[in-house]
Amino acid sequence: MPQNPQLNKNGELQHLLSIEGLSKDILRHILDTAESFTGVSEREVKKVPLLRGKTVCNIFFENSTRTRTTFEIAAKRLSADVVSLNVNSSSQSKGETILDTVDNLTAMHADMFVVRHSQSGAAHFIARHVAPHIHVINAGDGRHAHPTQGLLDVFTIRRYKPDMHNLRIAIVGDLLHSRVARSEIHALTTLGVPEVRVIAPKTLLPECVDRMGVQVYHDMREGLKGVDVVMMLRLQNERMSGALLSSAQEYFKCYGLTQEKLALAKPDAIVMHPGPMNRGVEIDSAVADGTQSVILPQVTYGIAVRMAVMSILAGNTE
């Protein structure tokens, strides 16, 4: 049986590549550690010395200012030295392979790689290759597997709805192109959430949806009834017209979250979105900025979760 590529020989988290493969204990350890980091960002001096003298390399083979910023802030609050590389233009064009880039940075005694790449499996590929004292964090690959996004979503749910054994959660939107959603379903189930619903048109559901242990709804009003959490997914611009959807307007009518539809959920239901939002496409501004929205707290917790992941990895060196 092949070893889980995320764990070291002692069964500790060595890399964070995907939520799949994380045990309930490791998931809980990350969430509990993140809990302790939420305080750091509220202090007068937002800095702890846990990664002082460590070198964190953000290697972005695909540009994403937003994601790079979250990791950069998290690493700096841990006192790490941060070096950011956009590799699309430079070395790549000189014919240097990904692994040569990684080997070079390792030779410079980098400690941690935060990797974003447009190809699925790029972070796994790098993790398989690096020396045992190096840590790799997947910051999005291919169809945007993005484990820290999944973890911060789970963290947010647990913060607002601590009794996870009594939750009804609806995930709404483009399940087909969102690997985050599938990871989260796995994590939520692992942590004991009894009922996860997915709400989407047939064209935006993956074939394997039957085997995911979820209830499928095509009627949003039906699916939102009585839920505690509404997780909206981002609709990629490139899906808004063409074969899969008739139009953004039509999508909003059927699957956009409005106050009126939200009223069908529990009165204290929370609304989540991974950002950046397409206001008026998958979510109405009144809901996005409304009292039930926890979209900005998600961003806040994202820093705590990333600090937690970085500090746990840095501590798990064989």
Interacting residues with a second copy (CB under 8 A): 41-47, 52-55, 63-66, 69-70, 72-73, 76-77, 81, 83, 85-87, 89-91, 94-97, 100, 103-109, 237, 275-279, 296-300, 302-303
Q: Which is nearer to a second copy, 85 or 264 (CB)?
A: 85
Residues 140 and 67 sit within 8 Å (Cβ to Cβ): yes
CA distance 164 to 31: 13
CB 317 → a second copy: shortest distance, Å? Answer: 10
DSSP 165: G
Q: Which is nearer to a second copy, 47 or 253 (CB)?
A: 47
Environment class of 216 (CB within 10 Å of its CB; exposed 0-12, middle 13-18, buried 19+)? middle
CB 60 → a second copy: shortest distance, Å? Answer: 11
CB 133 → a second copy: shortest distance, Å? Answer: 11
Task: Say which residue the tokens 């059927």 belong to.
Answer: 254
Q: Which is nearer to a second copy, 111 or 228 (CB)?
A: 111
CB 222 → a second copy: shortest distance, Å? Answer: 29
CB 144 → a second copy: shortest distance, Å? Answer: 12
Q: Which is nearer to a second copy, 10 or 65 (CB)?
A: 65
- Pairing outcome for strands 81-86 and 55-60: parallel
CA distance 37 to 58: 21
Q: Which is nearer to a second copy, 73 or 286 (CB)?
A: 73
CB 19 → a second copy: shortest distance, Å? Answer: 22
From 63, 66, 118, 122, select the one nearest 98 (Cα to Cα): 122
Amino acid of residue 207: E
Residues 78 and 51 sit within 8 Å (Cβ to Cβ): yes
* Size (the chain), residues: 318
SS3 142: coil
From 54, 85, 52, select the one nearest 68 (Cα to Cα): 85
Q: Which is nearer to a second copy, 28 or 279 (CB)?
A: 279
